[in-house]
Structure 1
Amino acid sequence: MTSGLIDVHAHLLPDFYVQQATAAGHAHPDGMGGWPTWSVQAHLDLMDRNGIETAMLSMSSPGVHFGDDKAARLLARRVNEYTAEVARDHRGRFGTFVSLPLPDVDGALEEIAFAFDELGADGLALLTHTHGMYLGDARLDPVFAELDRRRAVVFLHPTSPVCWEQSALGRPRPMVEYIFDTARTVTDLVMAGVLIRHPDMRVIVPHCGGAIPVLADRINEFMRLFVPSQEAPPLDAMQQLRALYYDIAGTAFPRQVPALLKLVGPDRVLFGSDYCWTPAPLADAHIAAVDAAEPPAQGATWRSLTTANARRLFPQSPR
């Protein structure tokens, strides 16, 4: 393996977090059977086995806010300090995407300052919504203004939609609901003009963009129909979507990546494993599928391409 992968979609799951989330009612997070097991060593073993040089660690759904702002601030801080400690102890192997205690905007702004100024975070992770506040919500504009000022990398991650009790039909929400909640919040960012107002954020959309690649033309058409001409942004929906980055975590081949490449160029594609929420045997199989897939360009492999793209996105990351 000639090119060490940079994994932008990798999750940690410390015991203290699982205990607190379970106590808050998340014994079966997002309809899954239970919590996966995770350890630093098991994660390193998967990385070494699959030629992953660096994994950018983030928290997955259900995030850190379980209904109480003060408790969410404390949990976000504890998670972020723990993640930074793991990255320091294994320099070059792990990077950090910190968590924010949204929808507490003041707490989020405080944590952004601490994470970037004190912990040296590589970026941050935002759920598609927190307690029904999707990412186009005007109340989040101070958060995006600060992230734009810092030229921050913003990794999006889906969670159960607000209507999951009806829409999921009793099935695990990561199967289908995650895909559409990603499309829902990215569409909200586009339609609300967030990406236009804050163009210096670098946004990563997970799972090959969810449903976005096959809906992009439809979103663009509806934007033209329903956004008044005097309010129309300088970039249409297609242009905004093409400016985002997309990871290939999950079942990227044989169908999702070809659809994604109808929307964006190969320079916008990043590698993701989704470990530990994707069990190690499945993660191994997904990575093998990436290696076996048709190269994206002559003289390149998916490894060399996604790694080069990630290095441009994280030029200061430890080697």
Structure 2
Amino acid sequence: MKLYALEEHFVTDDVVDAWRRRDPGLAEPMMKWAVASEVTPALLDLGGGRVAAMDDAGIDTAVLSLTTPGLQNLDAAEAVALQAPTNDLLAAAVRRHPGRFEGFATLATPAPSAAADELRRAVGELGFHGALVNANSGGRSLDAPEFWDIYEAAEDLRAPVYLHPGVPVAAVTEAYYRGFGTRVDDMLATGTFGWHYDAGLTVLRMILAGVFDRFPDLRLILGHWGEVVLFYLDRVAALDRLTELRRPIAEYFRANIFITPGGISSHKYLRWSLETVGAERIMYASDHPFNRERAGSARHFLEQAPVSEADRERIAHRNWEELVAGIRR
């Protein structure tokens, strides 16, 4: 059984330097974690060490993406200057490790038109399979019309966009995620709750803003079992009678959105996702290196999953292969 993992992160020295220029104290928790923690060497590794970690976890192919916040907290000129070199560096790593690495494009969302052009280049020339973006760009939610050039390009290419969490904007962080000491505050605002809630809300805003009505063939991927919102679709349905959307909100999740575990190895959440959107909407992701995989952990999660063999194959590789096969190069 071939196993793809879709939320597998890296960073480059040039991006780290740009983050440090913008924020010398690395006040944003995820930048600090990426730049100066035990995961930093693994993020910088686009070679043998990463392949060895994949082998240990039982992952055949990793679809690599620049870690949050990517280029989305930089000014437009600097973000644009970095997007092509970052993608070229990743493309070189993919060429060095054919069959083991694939790529999601890094986009300069502060300059949406340039980001859309780079997405076309990354898919058409570099062979990438879409892009990964984080839930806000310079404090602007990605449902805003200024970002729709990116979605137009993605739909035209039939290339998926992986929507990854980002740290909530400063006012939200200050109001909701402070008061318990720096370490607890930072984790509350990011990897335990804050950024999942924020990413789920971003998807709801995209639906309500009409993104998927305007771009009905847009494919979005959500990690971490749907970023909280998947578990509230029955409640969210109360909005259906208040909008002029073409479909009930839950239907966008069943037609336009794919779900991954994003490193949360929960069969309980898998069962809920299967019941809510079906096996044809679920793919695998380990969130390397932020979740340290135990020996065989990725493969063990799927091998022990309470699903049919056909659904196991769908989640492990068939859904992704079918999605990639439909991309227009």
Normalised by the length of structure 1, the TM-score is 0.88
Which residue of structure 2 aligns with residue 205 of structure 1?
222
Counterpart residue number, 2:26: 27
**Mean Cα deviation higher: 299-308 or 143-152:** 299-308
Structure 1, unmatched stretches of 5+, are none
Task: Give the one of 113, 116, 138 matched to 2:145.
Answer: 138
The alignment's C-alpha RMSD in Å is: 2.2
SS of aligned partner of 2:131: strand
Q: Which of residues 248, 252, 264 in structure 1 aligns to 2:277?
A: 264
The match for 2:261 is: 248
CA distance in 2, matches of 1:207, 1:259: 13
Asked if the contact 2:79/2:110 (under 8 Å) is kept, the reply is no
> How big is the shift at 1:155?
0.9
Q: Partner letter of residue 264 of structure 1?
A: V
**Identity rate of aligned residues, in percent?**
25
Structure 1 residues 1-319: aligned runs within 5 Å: 3-25=1-23, 27=26, 29-30=28-29, 34-35=33-34, 36=39, 37-38=41-42, 39=45, 40-162=47-169, 163-169=172-178, 170-172=185-187, 173-224=190-241, 226-227=242-243, 232-243=244-255, 244-281=257-294, 285=297, 288-294=300-306, 296-297=307-308, 299-300=309-310, 302=312, 305-315=315-325
Higher relative helix content = 2
AA paired with 1:234? R
> Equivalents in 2 of 1:67, 1:142: separation in Å?
19
8 Å contact 1:213–1:262 — kept in the other structure? no
Q: How far did 1:28 drift?
A: 5.8
- Kindly tell me: are residues 261 and 130 of structure 1, through their superposed partners in 2, closer, same or farther at Cα, counting changes over 3 Å? same
How many positions carry a matched residue from both structures? 307
Tell me the alpha carbon deviations over residues 109-141 of structure 1, each in whole angstroms, 9 at most, x when there is no partner: 232232223322211111111122222212222
Residues 170-194 of structure 1: CA deviation (Å, up to 9, x unaligned): 1321211121012111101111111
- 2-side partners of 1:223 and 1:316: how far apart? 31
1:285 is displaced (CA, Å) by 4.3
Structure-2 separation of matches of 1:31 and 1:8 = 19
CA contact under 8 A between 1:13 and 1:59: conserved in structure 2?
yes
Q: Which amino acid aligns with 1:302?
A: R
1:156, distance to aligned residue in structure 2 (A): 1.0
